[in-house]
Amino acid sequence: MVASAIFILDSKGKTLISRIFRGDVDADITGDFCARVIDVDDESGLKPVFRVDSKKRTYAYVKHSNLYVVGVTVRNSNAAMLLEFLNKLVEVFKEYFKEVQEESIRDNFVIIYELLDEMMDFGFPQVSESKVLQQYITQDYHVLEVPRPPVAVTNAVSWRSEGIRHSRNEVFLDVIEKVNIVISGNGSTLRSEILGSLMVKSLLSGMPDLKLGLNDRLQLSQAGNNRREKSVDLEDIKFHQCVRLSKFESDRTISFIPPDGEFELMSYRLNMQVRPLVWVDAVIELKATRVEYLVKVRSQLKPRCIANNVRIRLPVQLDADTPSFKCSSGKYKYVPAQDELVWTIKQLKAGRELVMRGRFNLPSIGENQERDIATKRPITVSFEVPYFAVSGLQVRFLKVMEKSGYRALPWVRYITQAGDYQIRIV
């Protein structure tokens, strides 16, 4: 009911790999795909799901670097599942051979066939845990020794195999929060949200059962905890499949048997008004033969917090040349390929304000209208603030229970990063 075939096409639409799962499509989709995606001039008609009526086929695809990973079906299949599967496929490829590009696809076609065969049967997705797949699909088989499918494949705990051993039992928790913000030209925040994710690196033996405590307001009140702790309203959470969702639904406990190694335990989204942590104000003045920039950046962080690796990307006119700038701190770099001026500041302490000013020359001929276009792109900013979670989320405890009764050490780190951090220019 899902895919009749999966294709991997190069940037010109040529088939690199095709795996046909059902007999209702043929192996040549290049023509259709070129006509509807690759050779389309008018980008407004481009959609990730489209149908070719004359052949009664529907296509869904994801684009990854210079590749198209395409699923084809003749039925009213579950497109959401197909697209998620294609994404997972790319992720698994990444785990297997790092970079997923035309070259690596060609070089690894054997393993790709094997993976496709294992991950999808008759168009139904089967397994997509790369850790588990790697136990029985590898590039270097020992001759005469045929691997057996790990129990985990079909088990209820399909993400962890038994018999894992670590000499030191440790588990690392990283709370990573990304701030997405769009600030309008007049300085008001148009939208802001925090996308958080809890990354776990689990180095635990056996089949540990973990319980995580957060300062989630609902969790605290459920536990009858009346201490006046600062709590966070976690409304919108998504969990890794290892978390017992029904348990969470009933009493907000986050309990799980973790996969081995690194994984994203949960992600959450907070729709809250965030004060811009790093404030940028740019005045760009277009003159006849030059364009002048005056850029100010100010940290609005709490005392003792430091923003590291602050990068401010400013749009630059297509035909600008000979930049000459002065910054009160940090370095600037002109990137003509991106039409950007990048100002990099290693460390920005709380409350500091820095200034950069300077100009580009412009050839005297040139259309002002085209030049205007440059300033329609927003300024984008990236930075990291270590030891700080902007939402105020805290890990209160992480209990590890395993039948052998070992003691495990949990480590927690916090970091806040700029995600889509855009400031529009007036």
Site for other proteins in 180-219 (CB under 8 A): 182, 184, 190-191, 193, 195
Binding segment (CB under 8 A) for other proteins, from list 95-103, 142-150, 297-305, 397-405? 142-150
Q: Which is nearer to other proteins, 201 or 244 (CB)?
A: 244
Q: Is the dihedral of CA 137, 143, 146, 151 positive or negative?
A: negative
Query: Least CB distance from residue 169 to other proteins, whole Å?
Result: 25
Return d(Cα 119, Cα 114) in angstroms, integer.
9
**Site residues (CB under 8 A) for other proteins, limited to 38-67:** 42-54, 56, 58, 60-63
User: Any contact of residue 134 with other proteins (CB under 8 A)?
Assistant: no
- Residues binding other proteins: number (CB under 8 A): 101
**Cβ 326 vs Cβ 358: under 8 Å:** yes
Query: Least CB distance from residue 193 to other proteins, whole Å?
Result: 7
Of 48, 159, 62, 139, nearest to 98 (Cα)?
139
By CB under 8 A, name the one of 98, 144, 303, 403 that touches other proteins.
144
**Site residues (CB under 8 A) for other proteins, limited to 65-84:** 73-81, 83-84
Query: Least CB distance from residue 262 to other proteins, whole Å?
Result: 15
Q: Which is nearer to other proteins, 76 or 226 (CB)?
A: 76
- Give the side-chain half-sphere CA count within 13 A for 323: 22
269 to 298: interface string for other proteins, x by CB under 8 A: x-x---------------------------
Q: Which is nearer to other proteins, 73 or 417 (CB)?
A: 73
Q: Which is nearer to other proteins, 45 or 336 (CB)?
A: 45
Return d(Cα 242, Cα 238) in angstroms, integer.
11
By CB under 8 A, name the one of 15, 255, 309, 347 that touches other proteins.
15
**Site residues (CB under 8 A) for other proteins, limited to 214-273:** 235-241, 243-246, 248-249, 264, 266-267, 269, 271
- C-beta neighbour count of 271 within 10 angstroms: 11
Burial of 212 (0-12, 13-18, 19+ CB in 10 A): buried
Of 269, 284, 295, nearest to 354 (Cα)?
295
User: What per-residue string of b and e applies to 36-59 under the rule 16 or more CB within 10 Å gives b?
Assistant: bbbeeeeeeeeeeebebeeeebbb
Binding segment (CB under 8 A) for other proteins, from list 17-25, 283-291, 324-332, 396-404? 17-25
Return d(Cα 286, Cα 373) in angstroms, integer.
12
Q: Which is nearer to other proteins, 25 or 348 (CB)?
A: 25
Return d(Cα 149, Cα 408) in angstroms, integer.
30
DSSP H or E segment with residue 132: helix 130-133
User: Any contact of residue 408 with other proteins (CB under 8 A)?
Assistant: no
